[in-house]
């Protein structure tokens, strides 16, 4: 019997939630008994909530301190956030349930866990609800609601944080981070090890919103190494224009991109990726077996991601652009020993089957659309 999975995601708060959703949806071909319906949770709140969702990009690009304040306030007042969003989405969410009639609900965004569970509880609608955490280390209360049937955690660190928040261990599923299949090499040995004297292909990016000291990093690399540099400015068109003008003297050694759907091609052809500590970008680089140099992280949910990567030898951390030369030199010394060690660590760490395992786990939870839900929503 076909099951219906409703995924509550987001198209505007970075690209990570959307990428995670896509990684699950592409596995559907292997499961002919499931139909997935995806909705942008912010659209359920119409204009007001959608404007709030779309403000994420401008805020994180232009004011990290403001974002830090918002993150901390929402962590302290999680119930107020839940109640506010519940009020905005209630009618449209109930209508969505009537139309889709899901057997299972999966949320991949923290803003829609408590709010949706509030609605289900008040309406006495018994549909299994699962949360898939999209962060790695810094988990805050909006991710963890004890009423969820299960919370799927991508890392041990996130799992431990859930336990600290009082989630019973039996409700937590450790999974690995789901990554779209096109980021994985065809076989684990396809990435070649670095050899002494080899020119470097460098990729500089900072998540879908395009933030960070990209120009300084690029100039430092181009002035001190035999390298080419590709820069992804994401949705930040103003940044892209500035970079094109300022880096023009370096000619063909530099290529600058805006938001691109083919980021996997850039990663797979790069020797080192310089990126912010965005969970999605980090794991896509790891999946493509591209050594990381993490140049910063958004305050709040990304704060400890650089240390996470360094601890597991998935990359190095260099938050000061002036120290890029020294960091890269460390990777290349002794015939690239450190760089090649990172390549090995990434291969051993990544779970290429995470998305498939998550989907299978979710589909085992829900039965056919429950009669109580049918009655309530008729």
Summarised one tens digit per residue, pLDDT across range 282-326 is 999 999 999 999 998 888 889 999 999 999 999 999 999 889 999
- Give me the pLDDT at residue 209, please: 44
Q: If you average pLDDT over residues 146-153, what whole number do you get?
A: 96
Residue 223: other Cβ atoms inside 10 A: 10
- Give me the pLDDT at residue 189, please: 56
Same domain, 9 and 152: yes
Same domain, 141 and 206: no
Same domain, 56 and 168: yes
Q: What is the Cβ-side half-sphere exposure of residue 11, based on CA atoms within 13 angstroms?
A: 9
Same domain, 167 and 269: no
- Give me the pLDDT at residue 210, please: 44
- Give me the pLDDT at residue 233, please: 86
Same domain, 189 and 308: yes
Rounded to an integer, what distance in angstroms lies between the CA atom of residue 55 and that of residue 231? 24
List C-alpha distances in Å: 287 to 64, 158, 212, 281: 28, 20, 23, 10
Element (H, E) at 296: strand 292-296
Q: Which residues pair with 241 in a beta bridge?
A: none
Q: Which residues pair with 227 in a beta bridge?
A: 200
- Give me the pLDDT at residue 199, please: 95
Edge-to-edge, what's the strand order for the sheet holding 104-107?
Answer: 34-40, 3-9, 104-107, 129-132, 150-153, 172-174
Same domain, 136 and 152: yes
DSSP letter at 369 equals: P
Same domain, 127 and 14: yes
Same domain, 155 and 14: yes
328: pLDDT strictly greater than 60: yes
Q: If you average pLDDT over residues 132-149, what whole number do you get?
A: 94
Q: Which residues contact 26 (CB under 8 A, 6 or more apart)?
A: 180, 181, 355
Q: Among the listed ranges 81-95, 188-202, 349-363, which one has the minimum average pLDDT value?
A: 188-202
Rounded to an integer, what distance in angstroms lies between the CA atom of residue 307 and that of residue 348? 18
Predicted confidence (pLDDT) per residue in 95-123, tens digit: 999 999 999 999 999 999 999 999 999 99
Residue 83: other Cβ atoms inside 10 A: 14
Q: How far is CA 147 from the centre of its chain?
A: 24
- Give me the pLDDT at residue 308, please: 96
371: pLDDT strictly greater than 70: no
Please say whether the beta carbons of 20 and 362 come within 8 A.
no
342: pLDDT strictly greater than 80: yes
- Per DSSP, helices labelled H in 204-318 are 214-224, 237-246, 263-268, 279-287, 305-311
Q: If you average pLDDT over residues 325-341, what whole number do you get?
A: 95
- Domain containing 273 — which CATH number? 3.40.50.2000
Q: How far is CA 167 from the centre of its chain?
A: 22
Mean predicted lDDT score pLDDT of the chain? 89
Q: How far is CA 78 from the centre of its chain?
A: 21
- Give me the pLDDT at residue 97, please: 96
369: pLDDT strictly greater than 90: no
Same domain, 310 and 166: no
- Give me the pLDDT at residue 53, please: 82
Q: Among the listed ranges 138-142, 170-174, 175-179, 204-208, which one has the minimum average pLDDT value?
A: 204-208
As for how many domains the chain has, the answer is: 2
- Give me the pLDDT at residue 290, please: 96
Domain of residue 273 covers 182-349
- Give me the pLDDT at residue 294, please: 95
250: pLDDT strictly greater than 70: yes
207: pLDDT strictly greater than 60: no
Q: Which of 87, 104, 75, 89 is nearest to 42 (CA)?
A: 89
Same domain, 363 and 219: no
For the record, the structure tokens of 71 come out as 């993150």
241: pLDDT strictly greater than 50: yes
Same domain, 83 and 157: yes
Same domain, 166 and 219: no
- Give me the pLDDT at residue 374, please: 46
363: three-class secondary structure by DSSP: helix
- Per DSSP, helices labelled H in 110-247 are 113-122, 156-164, 214-224, 237-246
Rounded to an integer, what distance in angstroms lies between the CA atom of residue 350 and that of residue 298? 23
pTM of the predicted structure, to 2 decimals: 0.89
198: three-class secondary structure by DSSP: coil
372: pLDDT strictly greater than 50: no
Predicted confidence (pLDDT) per residue in 59-91, tens digit: 776 777 787 788 788 888 889 999 999 999 999
């Amino acid at each position: 019997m076909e099951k219906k999975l409703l995924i509550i995601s987001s198209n505007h708060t970075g690209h990570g939630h959307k990428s995670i959703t896509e990684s699950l949806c592409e596995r559907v071909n292997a499961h002919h008994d499931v139909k997935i319906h995806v909705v942008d949770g912010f659209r359920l709140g119409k204009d007001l909530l959608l404007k709030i969702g779309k403000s994420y990009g401008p805020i994180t690009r232009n004011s990290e301190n403001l974002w830090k304040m918002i993150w901390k306030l929402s962590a302290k007042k999680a119930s107020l956030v839940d109640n506010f969003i519940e009020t905005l989405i209630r009618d449209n969410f109930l209508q969505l349930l009537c139309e889709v009639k899901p057997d299972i609900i999966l949320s991949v965004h923290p803003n829609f866990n408590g709010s949706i569970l509030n609605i289900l509880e008040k309406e006495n609608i018994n549909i299994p609800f699962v949360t898939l955490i999209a962060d790695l280390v810094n988990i805050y209360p909006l991710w963890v609601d004890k009423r969820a049937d299960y919370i799927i955690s991508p890392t041990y660190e996130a799992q431990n944080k859930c336990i600290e928040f009082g989630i019973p261990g039996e409700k937590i599923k450790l999974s690995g981070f789901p990554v779209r299949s096109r980021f994985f090499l065809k076989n684990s040995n396809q990435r070649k090890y670095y050899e002494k004297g080899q020119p470097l292909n460098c990729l500089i990016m900072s998540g879908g919103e395009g933030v960070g000291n990209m120009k300084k990093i690029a100039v430092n690399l181009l002035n001190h190494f035999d390298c080419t540099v590709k820069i992804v400015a994401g949705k930040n068109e103003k940044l892209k224009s500035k970079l094109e003008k300022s880096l023009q003297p370096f000619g063909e050694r530099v290529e600058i991109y805006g938001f691109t759907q083919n980021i996997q091609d850039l990663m797979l052809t790069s020797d080192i990726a310089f990126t912010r500590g965005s969970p999605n970008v980090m794991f896509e680089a790891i999946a493509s077996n591209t050594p990381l140099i993490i140049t910063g992280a958004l305050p709040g949910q990304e704060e400890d991601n650089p240390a996470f990567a360094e601890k597991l030898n998935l990359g190095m951390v260099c938050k000061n652009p002036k120290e890029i030369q020294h960091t890269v030199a460390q990777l290349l010394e002794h015939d690239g020993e450190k760089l090649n060690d990172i390549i090995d660590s990434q291969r051993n760490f990544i779970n290429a089957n995470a998305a498939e395992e998550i989907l299978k786990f979710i589909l085992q939870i829900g039965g056919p659309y429950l009669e109580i839900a049918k009655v309530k929503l008729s």
